[in-house]
Homo-oligomer: A and B are copies of this chain.
Amino acid sequence: MTGATPRRTQAERRARTRQAVLEAAARRLSTHGYAHLTLDWVAGEAGYSRGAVYHQFAGKEELALAVVTWVEETWTAEVGSPAAEADPVDALLTLARKHAVFCRRDVARVLLTLRIEFAGQDHPVGRAITGIVDRLDADCADLIAAGRASGVIPPGPPPRETAAAYTSVVEAVGIELAGRTPYDIELMDRAVRGVLGLPPTGN
């Protein structure tokens, strides 16, 4: 029995189930949000029952938090880390472009959807999202301040406000133009350059 037999180890079986549930939940969260996320739908979509979901995750909230950390790790690997360059301008422009590419996937909406849904509330999922966004905002503010200090970024509003505008613009353009290649990247570039005060055609 060496062929495609469903002969799996317990750990592999568990990991496979967990991943299937995680992806189904991410897909549902990105389009319907947390409130409309029913564990019955997630389990069925993943090919299991609710019992399996509860065996893998403590509950609905834990599942959503797992999705958030999973998406964040994916985002950091594909967007955040590649954009860690020396030059602040390059870093900010690269981050924006990479994010536009990242948004071509359906799960990219998860963070935006949950952030909007839990804005102004005190919920563990909302806190996780704001923690991620706040860190990103702070990093971008530092980059902007450094760029202003070295002269590669023209002066303007305070770094915190400029960074807030930068991240919100990156998020919005990425989601709104998701998949409309190649205009998603071009318009992302335009918007970011505008916020930072850079000249239109610098590439």
Contacts and interface: CB of A to CB of B under 8 A. Distances in A.
A113 B34 CA distance: 13
A112 B173 CA distance: 14
Interface in A160-190: 161-162, 164-165, 167-169, 171-173, 175-177, 180, 183, 186-187, 190
A40 interface: no
Q: How many copies does the complex hold?
A: 2
Contact of A190 (B119, B171, B176, B194): B194
B180 A161 contact: yes
A191 interface: yes
A116 B32 contact: no
A87 B202 CA distance: 27
Contacts of A183: 157-158, 161-162, 165
Given A119-B31, A121-B32, A191-B169, A176 B197 contact: no
Contacts of A187: 156-157, 161-162, 165, 195
A180 B158 CA distance: 11
A88 interface: no
A112 B117 CA distance: 10
B157 A176 contact: no
Nearest to A189: B194
A172 B171 CA distance: 8
The interface centre, meaning the residue of A32, A109, A169, A171 with most chain B CB atoms within 10 A of its CB, is A169
> Top 6 A-B pairs ranked by shortest CB distance?
A194-B194, A35-B35, A172-B172, A31-B120, A168-B176, A165-B187
